[in-house]
Amino acid sequence: MNDKEPPNFVAMALSPDVVPESTPSEVVRKVHNQKGVAIEYALWKPPHSSGQCAIALHGFSRPLEDMLATRPLLPDGVALLMPHLPAHGRSSGHHRPLEIADWTEAMKALLNAEGLEFSGTLIGYSLGGRLALTWFGLNPTQFSKVMLLAPDGLVKNPGYRLSVDTTLGRAWLGQSEKQRNAIVRMLTWWRARGILPEHFYQFSLFHLASAEMWAMVVDCWCSLRQFWPPKSRRLQELSKAHPGILEAHFGARDKVIKPANARVLNNVCPVHFHPCGHGLLRPDIIERIASPS
């Protein structure tokens, strides 16, 4: 492929806006509003619910229903709350940034409104893993089990740091739609010369595929600017003070969240590697996690 050839992608409907066809009929999306924070969510309840509820946080640009895959990780009788992350679906993404306390309070109020008690189990996949680890870092006593599946947030790359953590970068993001097509052309030029790996090229194109998708990227990055986990040393201190809560799982072939990122969790928690890429929500991988040999 040369740099004159158009990028090989097809724009599609944003995944968070589309309810997967396999979703059980009783799992229905709703919206909870709390002091300017809107959270779209859905609940799954087992046939004989105990009144307790775990929370599962999905990955970037994915529908909340993805997290139904984690049901085998729950104790009997425990329900599952699946919120859409900020800037996904009908969850608000206009905050610059969203205050962590406002989001966690909205989550608690949501559970209260549904008449459910938090069981202490928090599951986070990819971007959801970053939020889960951030939440644990702030309030570790709230949790009995935090399961991180290919968690984002362990390593902050220079491009993200520049775009989100600096005033200049955020100013650029605010008007970056004007350069979106130019960015695609630049990435295509780099890829044609072997500078850019194919997997990174395709990953980037997915997020640049449409104005709507790129707007979600910008809104999500800016809204979640404060949601970043503690550094490794602080995580070690928290884990020592609250043992047995954290565990992490990575795909041995993951090119999105590299398994090497797990080094940040050395001396923090048990880390497990599985024979897959980024697909830790696959039924066979979830079964490996639920019933380790």
Tens of pLDDT, residue by residue over 93-130, are 999 999 999 999 999 999 999 999 999 999 999 999 99
CA distance readout (Å), 161 to 150, 165, 182, 216 = 20, 5, 21, 18
The whole-number average pLDDT for the span 140-165 is: 94
Instruction: Please tell me the predicted confidence (pLDDT) of residue 7.
Output: 44
Model pTM?
Answer: 0.92
Whether the per-residue pLDDT at 277 is higher than 50: the answer is yes
Instruction: Please tell me the predicted confidence (pLDDT) of residue 12.
Output: 43
In whole angstroms, give the CA distance from residue 229 to residue 262.
14
Whether the per-residue pLDDT at 18 is higher than 60: the answer is yes
Whether the per-residue pLDDT at 52 is higher than 80: the answer is yes
Closest to 16 measured CA to CA, from 217, 157, 181, 185: 217
Of 8-22, 144-158, 220-234, give the lowest mean pLDDT range: 8-22
Strands 271-274 and 117-125: what pairing?
unpaired
DSSP 8-state secondary structure symbol assigned to residue 97: S
In whole angstroms, give the CA distance from residue 219 to residue 59.
15
Average pLDDT over the chain, rounded to an integer: 92
pLDDT tens digits for 209-223?
889 999 999 999 999
Closest to 206 measured CA to CA, from 20, 3, 60: 60
pLDDT tens digits for 57-102?
999 999 999 999 999 999 999 999 999 999 999 999 999 999 999 9
Q: Where are the domains of the chain?
A: 15-156+229-290, 158-222
Which tokens hold the place of 36? 């300017």
Judge whether 30 and 22 are in contact, CB under 8 Å.
no
Q: Counting every residue, how long is the chain?
A: 293
Write out the H or E segment, with its range, that includes residue 39: strand 37-44
The whole-number average pLDDT for the span 15-43 is: 94
Q: Quick one: how far is CA 244 from the chain centroid? A: 23
Whether the per-residue pLDDT at 3 is higher than 80: the answer is no
- Give percent of the chain with pLDDT exceeding 70: 95
Query: 98 Cβ partners below 8 Å, 6+ apart?
Result: 37, 86, 223, 224, 226, 227
Sign of CA dihedral 85, 87, 88, 91: positive
Q: Taking the domain 15-156+229-290, which CATH number applies?
A: 3.40.50.1820
Place 13 in a pLDDT band, splitting at 50, 70 and 90: low
* CA contacts within 13 A on the Cβ side of 199: 8
pLDDT tens digits for 219-276?
999 999 999 999 999 999 999 999 999 999 999 999 999 999 999 999 999 999 999 9
Instruction: Please tell me the predicted confidence (pLDDT) of residue 159.
Output: 84
